Amino acid sequence: MDAGHSYLLSYRPKPLPDELFSSWLIRVAHAQGLKLQTFCHMMWPEAMIWNRDCDRCASPELRSSLADMTGVAVARADATLLTSYEGILFRRSVKNGHTKWILPLGVFHRVRRRNGLQYCPQCLADATPYFRRAWRLSLYTLCERHQCLLRDECPHCKRPVHPHRGEMGDRKRMAPMGNEFCWMCGGDLRDVGLGKPIPESLLSLQRYHSSLLKRDIGVSSSGDSCLYFDCLAHILQLVTSKRPRMARFRELLSQGSGVEITSIEPKASCPLHFDAFSTYERAQILQAVAWLFEDWPGRFRALIILGKLRSSDLSGEHKQLPEWFSSAIRRPMRYKANLLPGHRPFRGNPESSEFEDGFGPSEFLRSKLVPADYTETKTRIGADLAREGAHGK
């Protein structure tokens, strides 16, 4: 079929909430009773779809054609792409290369060599299992709905999740394979035992990030979510840095937060750093950062002093850093007297001007910028939130 012609399919599944483009395309194909590769070859015989990351760079013609076939607006189809995070999570998506915060797939022909697609086993047990856009983000390590750790590999064969390869190489299989099964061994991805309880601080931090991405929070016009996420990426780079001077910082952070991160090291010769870690490793790192944010800038300044770090060690070559971070590395020695025995950090002054710098750790602790269901979690941050709110009024 010519992709330029309008053609309404008999069965027209619409994109589900936060559904990923590839997941939607798979469901559309299966709704016709066809294998995915057969459907794509029939509809777009000349298109190169699966030898690249179609969730990032699906062509406008492909998106428009699929939208016409299913009777949805093109804008809704575009919202299934990872590029829809432009201007919120990152300033611009990189078409031919790695985009910060997006998990790399390691595309080689039609094979994905990296664990770039996460999933929640319990979400895949729903009546209509599908993959979410947020599961392609390195920031996301939890399912907020089921409060469990996301998975990034098959629990049976330990291979990456590639739902588009479910029926390839099996000509005897006539019926399409569901999203809930492994493409390699056919094992059920939902067959996962109960994991450890999710730390409430980590869950709260992810909910805050979700609110930023969904634009669900009220913030002053000075707030810049891209600047916040850029600085967060910088902090994560400091935590995972191979530089000898940062080893002591990572050790102190691990001791203070009670989260083992000293054994987490960047992959050899891998420029992707945080985005290249496994889901479990990223969850550990983010939990340690959440501990920092719960008492910012006090804990961060204490680690700077105890680690004998210079501002140049922490700023790097970044030309634009938010004031809430810049002020923390400019004035750590002012707070040296507040360090108590046992390396107990000083609590920052919530009335300081650095707490009014748009998005940042302080905004993470303010009730006006936290999702409505946040108070129901009754986390350790809850008491701090009430105190910070009282100071702010």
**pLDDT at site 268:** 56
Residue matched to tokens 């000509």: 171
| CA nearest neighbour of 62 among 83, 51, 72, 47 | 47
Rounded to whole angstroms, how far apart are CA atoms 214 and 134? 11
The model's pTM: 0.83
> Which two structure tokens, joined as six digits, stand for 35?
């294998």
Report which secondary-structure segment, H or E, holds 26: helix 21-31
- Computed on alpha carbons and rounded to an integer, the radius of gyration of the chain in Å comes to 23
**pLDDT at site 108:** 73
Q: In this structure, how many other beta carbons lie within 10 angstroms of the beta carbon of residue 291?
A: 20
Q: Which residue has the higher pLDDT, 13 or 298?
A: 13
Q: Is the pLDDT of residue 251 over 60?
A: yes
**pLDDT at site 175:** 55
State the chain's mean pLDDT as an integer. 80
pLDDT per residue as tens digits for the range 146-192? 999 999 999 889 999 988 887 766 666 655 567 888 887 888 898 88
Rounded to whole angstroms, how far apart are CA atoms 122 and 241? 34
Per-residue confidence band for 321, with pLDDT thresholds at 50, 70 and 90? confident
Report which secondary-structure segment, H or E, holds 291: helix 279-294
Q: Is 180 helix (H, G, I), strand (E, B) or coil?
A: coil
Q: Are 26 and 163 in contact (CB under 8 A)?
A: yes
Q: Is the pLDDT of residue 101 over 80?
A: yes
Rounded to whole angstroms, how far apart are CA atoms 135 and 20? 9
**pLDDT at site 37:** 87
> Which two structure tokens, joined as six digits, stand for 156?
């049976």
Per-residue confidence band for 194, with pLDDT thresholds at 50, 70 and 90? confident
How does strand 111-112 pair with strand 107-108?
A: antiparallel
Q: Is 19 helix (H, G, I), strand (E, B) or coil?
A: strand
**pLDDT at site 166:** 73
**pLDDT at site 347:** 42
Q: Are 257 and 249 in contact (CB under 8 A)?
A: no
pLDDT per residue as tens digits for the range 200-228? 999 999 999 999 998 754 444 345 899 99
For residue 154, give the DSSP letter: -
**pLDDT at site 52:** 86
| pLDDT mean over 95-110 | 84
**pLDDT at site 210:** 94
**pLDDT at site 319:** 67
| pLDDT mean over 57-64 | 93
**pLDDT at site 344:** 44
Q: Residues 6 or more apart from 388 whose CB is under 8 A from it?
A: 350, 362, 365, 366, 367
Most confident of 7-11, 106-110, 287-291, 354-358: 287-291
> Which two structure tokens, joined as six digits, stand for 98?
């790695």
Query: Helix axis angle, 323-330 relative to 225-239, nearest 10°?
Result: 40
**pLDDT at site 78:** 96
Q: Are 306 and 316 in contact (CB under 8 A)?
A: no
Per-residue confidence band for 137, with pLDDT thresholds at 50, 70 and 90? very high
**pLDDT at site 255:** 92
> Which two structure tokens, joined as six digits, stand for 150?
């996301």
Q: Is the pLDDT of residue 391 over 70?
A: no
Helix locations, 11-149, DSSP H:
21-31, 36-43, 54-57, 60-70, 74-78
* Residue 188, strand partner residues: 181
For residue 6, give the DSSP letter: -
